[in-house]
Structure formats: C-alpha cells, structure tokens
Structure 1
Amino acid sequence: MTYQGVLTKMRTEFKDPIQYYLVFENDFIHMNQLLTKTIQMEFVGYQCLNCSLNKPIYRQGFCKSCFFDVPQAADWIIKPELSKAHLDEEERDLEYEKRVQLQPHIVYLANSSNVKVGVTRKSQVPTRWIDQGAHEAIEIVEVPNRYLAGITEIALKDYVADKTNWRNMLKNDVKDEDLVVWRNRLKAHIPAEAQDYYIETNTETQLVFPVQHYPKKPKSLNIVKAASYTGTLVGLKGQYLIFEDETVFNVRSNEGLVVKLSLL
C-alpha cells in the first residue's frame, strides 16, 4: 500500500497510549497501526503550506517569501511576549492576530527531557504537551491573552528551562518530577500583571506514548538529502517517528515536504 502527500504535523488523540494520525489530502493514516511495519519513505518535492508552490521550504512549512509575509510565521508566534493585538497594533494581519492572541492562554510546566516552561493557547492543551513528548505536565497560569502569557514565560525562564533536549526526550532519559512542587516554587516569580491568574489547585497530567523501545543513540533522518529511507517503525513520541535502527524522523520540522510512504 502506498500513500503520497504533503507533510503536516501529525494529529493526535489524548488516549492511553496517545493516538497518532498522518493526514494527506486523500489519505488519513492511523500511525499506531503501522507499529512493527516496515515503511519506505521517499522524498518527492515541496509544497509550501501557504502558496502551495514547489519551492524549497524555508521554515515552519513555508517557502522563504511566504515565511516573511504570512501572519502564521510572525515573530510573536515564537516569542509571545511580542504580541501586540491587545494594544490594537498590527504586525502582519491584525484580524488574524486578534483572533489568535486575544484568547485564553496557558503557561505550563512540561517534563520531557527536563522540566521546562512553555506557552500555548488553552484550546491546544494537551496537544502541545503531546507534540513536545512530555510524559507529565501541569498548568501554572491561565491568562486572557498571549502577551500576558509571554511575559510570564520570560519571567520564569530565569528559574526553569524553556527548551527540550530532543535526544534525551527520544531516549526516554527522563525522571519523574513533582510538578505541583515546581508550580508552587515558581509562583513568587510570576509578574504582577499575571499573579491573579495563578492556578492554585490542579494536578499533573500524565501522558503515555506508543513506543515499543527507545533509541540509545537517535539519528535524525534528513529525507531530502537521503532521498529514500526504509525502516521498521517501533515508536511515536512528540512529533517523531522512531525506527528500529534508531533513526528518527521529525514530522513537524519537515512540514511542506511531499513524500511517498509505502508499506513493505
């Protein structure tokens, strides 16, 4: 059986274990069902997620010209503290920016390779934690806009990490932490503007990933350079496919690539 389409991040369902789906234009692939199956992946071309042209992907699934034009790739996406929609100030598209920025946002702690702080829209919980490969997570504050979430994250970065070590996450080289203790410890460092939004009583969310065995030395697959790769799928974690030979493939970081998948 063969599928072909443009890569976008896998859709997920919060179950035990997490359920993964790869969505192409004409196919909906339940990736959990492919565990233990041998898969051949071939690079076919590019398709920018905005203009749909066969142009090399620059970042985040967009060609270079679209990346510097579309609101989905503006600086405030990565740096929420730069959000300005609450001030009625436009960066690229004020209507889009208001729609995304002026909604409830969560500042959270997630433990994937280590405890880290992050920001996401409330509607993206727990999807964001799944995408990061976190095995446990907890909300710290729930604020009404992205800007407040951003300045809270910035304030907490001095006391907790803000990045995931993807290799350790994939090796499952992690330890359980008491995130309630972490949350309470960080309360004093939340900015005054966000103190009233602190979540006083909640518990950790636990996440279980469909991984049969973890790689000891994960090797990242560059499918454009390799052109073709064949391997047996043994796990799904974060947005990664994990193969038996310890090759790993980050679906999200390869958005906009057109690939052919064949089940052998």
Structure 2
Amino acid sequence: MQYEGVLRKMRTEIGHPIQYYMLFEDDFLNVNQVLDKTLTIHFIKYQCLNCGENRPIYRQGFCKSCFFDTPSAGDWIMRPELSTAHLDKEDRNLEYEKKVQLQPHIVYLANSSNIKVGVTRKTQVPTRWIDQGAHEAIEIVETPNRYLAGITEVALKDHVGDKTNWRKMLTNDVDDKDLVEWRNTLKPYIPDEAIDYFIASNSETNLEFPVLRYPKKVKSLNLDKNPEYSGVLKGIKGQYFIFEDDTVFNVRGSEGYYVGLEIQ
C-alpha cells in the first residue's frame, strides 16, 4: 500500500487501545493496522500548512513568514495566560481569537513521564492527553475562557511540572500516581479568580496505547537529515511512531512535510 500527502497531527479515537489515523487529501490510514509491518517514509518536499508553499518549515507546520503572521500561531497558543480576547483586545485576528479563547478550557494533570499541569480546550479532552502520551490524566479546573485557565496553569507550575520528558514517555519508564490526591493537594494554589471553577468530584482517566514493544534507548528520526527511512512499526504513543530498531518519529513535530508512505 502506498500513500502520499502532507503530514499533520494524527487524529485519534479513544478505545482499548487508542486508534490512530493519518488523514490525507483524498485518503486516510488507520495506523494501528500497520503494526508489525514495514513502513517506509520518504520526504518529498515541504508544504506550509498555511500558505501551502514549498518553503522550509519553521515551527508548528508553518514556514517562517506564516508562523509570525497566522493567528493560529500567536504567543497565546503556547502561553494561554497571554490571551486577551476576553478584553476585546486583538493579537493578530480578534475574530479567530474570540472563537478559540472564549470557550470552556480545562486545566488538567497528566502523567506521561511525570505529573505535569496543562491547559486545553474542553473539546480537546481526551485528545490532548493522548497527544502527550499520558497513561493517566484528570481535569482539575474548568474555566469559561483561555485566560483564566492560563493564569491557573502559571500558578500551579510553581508546585508541579509543566513539561513532558518525551524520551522517558516513549520508553514507558513511568509510575502510576494518585491524581485525585494531587488535585486536592494543588487546590490551595489555584488563583482566586479561578477557584470557583475547581472540579472536586471526578476520577482519573486511564489510556491504553497500541504498543507491541517499547524502545530501550530512543533514536529520533529527522527527515531533513534522513529523508528516507524504513523500519518495522512496533507502536504508536503520543504522536510518535515507535520502530523495531528503537527509532522514533514525531509525526506532529513533522507537520508540513510532504511525504510518501509505503507499507509492506
């Protein structure tokens, strides 16, 4: 089987295990069906997710000029506390920013390699946890906008991490934690503006990834340095492919790369 198209973040579907899909312009691939088969990835060109031009990808699937222009790459994406739509104040495009920022957001705890705090739109639960490779997660605050979620995350970062050790996550070197206990421990540090949105009575969500074998020591595939790679797919976790030779490939980190895929 052969596929061709621009890489985007894989779509996911909750299940036991989670189902992964790659979407192309005229086709799609259920990646779970490729497990234990040889997958060849061939880099063909760049295709910016905004302008569509064959320009080197700078960040988040965008060429450099689009990254600093498109509203979907504003600083508030990575730093929710910088959101200003609730003040009717524009960053790059107020209409877009209101659409994204002025909707319910979740502050959560996720355990991928360690416990971390994060923010996502309510509609992105549990997708965000899956993308981070979390094997367990829990909502702790639900706010009406992105700004309140952002300042809550900033306050809690003084007491719990906000980064995932992706290498540790991919080797499955993780411990189960009592996230309900952690939620209650962190409650006193929630800002006054957001404390009314604290979620006091929920349980953690557990996630199962389609992995046949975890790598012992990960080797990252970079398509700029190695434009063609072939290996037996042994698992999918987060947004990563895991291959038999311990090579891992970050699909989301390669958004905007136009590739050919061959499955044998």
Fold conserved between structures, TM > 0.5: yes
Query: Quick check: 1:129 aligned with 2:129?
Result: yes
Match of 2:189 in 1: 189
Deviation of residue 17 (structure 1)? Answer: 0.4
How far apart in 2 are the matches of 1:185 and 1:256?
41
Q: Give the partner amino acid of 2:236.
A: L
Corresponding position: 1:157 with 2:157: yes
SS of corresponding position for 2:48 = coil
Amino acid at match of 2:134: A
| CA positional deviation for 1:224 | 2.0
Residue 225 of structure 2 aligns to a residue whose secondary structure is helix
- 2:219 counterpart residue number: 219
CA–CA distance in structure 2, aligned partners of residues 3 and 196 of structure 1: 49
Deviations 1:178-236 (A, max 9, x none): 00000000000000000000001000000000000100101100012111000000000
Verify: 1:116 aligned to 2:111, yes or no: no
- Quick check: 216-225 or 159-168, which moved more? 216-225
Distance 1:88 1:217 in 2: 48
- Report what 1:241 is aligned to: 241
Q: How do residues 1-264 of structure 1 correspond to structure 2 at under 5 angstroms?
A: 1-264=1-264
Q: Deviations over 1:107-143 (max 9, x none)?
A: 0000000000000000000000000000000001000
Percent identical among aligned pairs is: 71
SS in 2 for 1:177: coil
Superposed CA offset, 1:70-104 (max 9, x none): 00000000000000000000000000000000000
Counterpart of 1:176, as a letter, is D
Amino acid at match of 1:240: Y
Query: How big is each residue's C-alpha offset from its partner over 1:137-190, in whole Å with a ceiling of 9 and x where there is no partner?
Result: 000100000000000000000000000000000000000000000000000000
CA distance in 2, matches of 1:39, 1:135: 26
Moved over 2 A (4+): none
Q: Could you tell me which amino acid in structure 2 is paired with residue 25 of structure 1?
A: E
Deviation of 1:64 after TM superposition, in Å, equals 0.4
2: distance between equivalents of 1:195 and 1:2? Answer: 52
- How many residues get paired? 264
Distance 2:212 2:180 in 1: 29
In the alignment, the residues of structure 1 paired with residue 149 and residue 41 of structure 2 have an alpha-carbon distance, to the nearest angstrom, of 39
Between the aligned partners of 1:13 and 1:110, the Cα distance in structure 2 is 18
- What is the CA–CA distance in structure 1 between the aligned matches of 2:35 and 2:223, rounded to whole Å? 20
CA drift of 1:26 comes to 1.6
Q: Distance in 2 between matches of 1:10 and 1:224?
A: 20
* Long gaps (5+) in structure 1: none
Matched residue SS, 1:147:
helix
1:47 & 1:195 partners in 2: Cα distance? 43
Q: Deviations over 1:32-51 (max 9, x none)?
A: 00000001110000000000
Distance 1:27 1:167 in 2: 31
**What runs of 5+ residues in structure 2 fail to find an aligned partner?**
none
**Deviation at residue 2 of structure 1 after TM alignment:** 1.1
> How many angstroms apart in 2 are the aligned matches of 1:71 and 1:78?
12
Distance 2:185 2:154 in 1: 16
